[in-house]
Amino acid sequence: MDQSNRVYFPFTAIVGMDNAKLALLVNAVNPLIGGVVLAGDKGTGKSTLVRAFAQVLPKQPVAKGCQFNCNPFNPLEMCDYHAMLWSRGERIDYELRKIRVVDLPLNATPDRVVGSIDVEQTIKSGVVVFKPGLLAEANRNVLYIDEVNLLEDYIADLILDAAASGWNIVEREGISFKHPARFVLVGSMNPEEGMLRPQLLDRFGLYVPVEASADPNERIEIVERVEEFAKDPISFYRKWESYEKQLEERIARAKEIVKDVAMDRDLLKLVATTIIKLGIKTHRAEIVVTRTAKAIAALDNRLKVNINDVVKAMELALRHRLKSKPFEEQQKKLDEVFRELAGEKPERGESEARSGGGNAKSGGNPGAMGSGANNRIEARLGNFDEKSASLPIDVSLPRIEDSTTGFGRGSRNFKSVGIATLKGVAIDAIPPVKHVIVDVDIPATIRASVAYKPSVPIAVDLQNIRVRVRKERIPVLNTIILDTSSSMTIGKRISLAKHILKKLIEDSYVARTYVSLVIFRGLSASTISWPTRNVELVYKLLDEVPVGGSTPFTSALAEALKHLKAFKTRFSNAKLVAHILSDGGANIFLSRNPINEILDLAEEYRKLNAKVIAYNTQSNYLRILPDYLKIFVDAVNGTYLNI
């Protein structure tokens, strides 16, 4: 049990979640596997599992008094001081410490992550002293990031650099320092909030979807155990303590023998062949599968890997590597390959889906194609050939002009830079502007004081004070308003619209912006997706959008307005963009005066300072009805594109 004043739910008392448990355990056995991502809906027990995991981790030798948790028996895992002692042949005293889980909060600053100036010691000594950060604490431990997909890019970059090299190298604020940073990276996330950056996702060795149990008996057991724990945590833990100790001993034993576990070359060839069949391009896949299979065998106290170990290892290590690029179709599914390994034939439905026969997505939906008269009035976007559509214009996300904003590095969100804002990441430190001393950068102030009077004790005066310059990410929402009425089926307009939308969504993925989707058809508009960063989900939903019926244009504008207002309430500094794809016609309105209705809605868009871009798909068609789309765009001073 944790010796602090907190008692965590026992790891062995958690019901189900077998794959997630195994993924954590094999990483404890061999940290070189590279960590794990637990991805699932909120309330499925991901964080509870990780907190509990800390209690079954065994002890390891650590150099006594070392802030960096140095390995006293391996010079490659030592800080400079202990490496110097090792080179001299001097004895390094050590103690046994439990491997622990170090939390990295989403609001952590770069100073807290990589380390910074120790203000107290620097003031006392007059010499700049380094204060270790979270990466030092995480060395030879587990670094846990809850909601890892929401982690700021600049923090993720720092962690990636350390994870790739095994060292934290600090070259900033007058500090030049390095220390070992070898840790098991564990992250949990809710895919509804968007997926991880590909660079960060590939860095994790394993990926495990976590779902709520569908077994009523299991769910009852979960409730009973949680209630029992809440009633008396200490008694509940003691009830499971013997099982916790057994698992801790099992992990310690596995760590000792894992280096001696053998894997036949035939099994290794099977792994390589399977990975090639799956179309996975990274060599990290074979390495992680091999290490995971050996760790599974070691946990079972075996010195030889069998086929079951390999299959389980592939299930854990390959799922997030099936696509080398965002939105790329998977060549084969894992379960299909596993059936092939077992000598089973693919199911009939899967063969038809791969060969292009049938409508795999229609299922029993009476609104799908294939039901007589409904074919004439109902369709699905996925049934149109988007490859036959050409783009006469260059479609990409607009650059929102603003004197205080611009794109960050590469293709990130918009940024704003300010002084004394107290928001965002600190990127520099400068003397106060107009003597406004707000958000003082203490390390920079101390460094300036030392530089100003290096031979005397530090004395901070006005000319040495430095305040922070901060860069803040500005969230961007791209709300897509798609006309799916019957008129959009003429001349492959819907195919062209779909092609444009997918390009916009792909751009949103790169820029890490939010996306929402509204469609309008029949008598009203409907929301397909509220603002989300899970743009791949929106991308897939496009193929399920129904088509046919009338054109309720103003209803769509009103529905999209809800998205924009809600997003602006959540992020007061947000940039809003509405993309409208329509043929411009409308025949269903909310009132008897369509023009006034459109102008009133336009006024609401102007109040939100929303940028509007319209893509007219009926540019070469003889128009009978007024072009309501053009009227709206002109009223908001937007951009009107004929495609």
- Active-site residue flag, 623: no
- Alpha-carbon dihedral angle through residues 318, 320, 321, 322, given to the nearest 10 degrees: 90
Q: Which amino acid is at 615?
A: Y
- Distances from the Cα of 244 to the Cα of 5, 24, 25, 226, 477, angstroms: 19, 15, 13, 17, 47
Give the position of tokens 């400079």. 80
How many angstroms separate the CA atoms of 641 and 643, rounded?
Answer: 6
3-state secondary structure of 13: helix
**In the structure encoding, which two tokens stand for residue 423, read together?**
């928001």
List strand residue ranges (DSSP E) for 564-603, in order: 575-582
Residue by residue, DSSP assigns 441-484 as -HHHHHHHHHHHSTTS-----GGG--EEEEEEEE-EEEEEEEE-
Closest Cα partner for 287 from 252, 318, 257, 246? 318
Q: Scanning the structure block, which residue is given the tokens 């890490």? A: 512
CA distances from 322 to 303, 351, 606 (A): 30, 19, 44
Closest by CA to 585, choosing from 517, 528, 632, 545, is 632
Structure tokens at 285: 């896949």
The span from the CA of 460 to the CA of 453, in Å, is: 10
CA 418 to chain centre: 27
Q: Which residues contact 409 (CB under 8 A, 6 or more apart)?
A: none
In angstroms, the CA 416 to CA 402 distance is: 9
- Given phi > 0 = left and psi -120 to 50 = alpha, else beta, which region is 439? left
Cα separation, 636 vs 632, whole angstroms: 6
Q: Nearest to residue 26, comparing CAs of 314, 366, 427?
A: 314
- Phi and psi angles of residue 193, each rounded to the nearest 5 degrees, phi first: -85, 5
Q: What is the token pair recorded at 214? A: 């569908």
d(CA 610, CA 576): 5
Q: Specify the DSSP class assigned to residue 362.
A: T
Name the catalytic one among 172, 225, 284, 302.
284
* Residue positions annotated with a catalytic role: 284
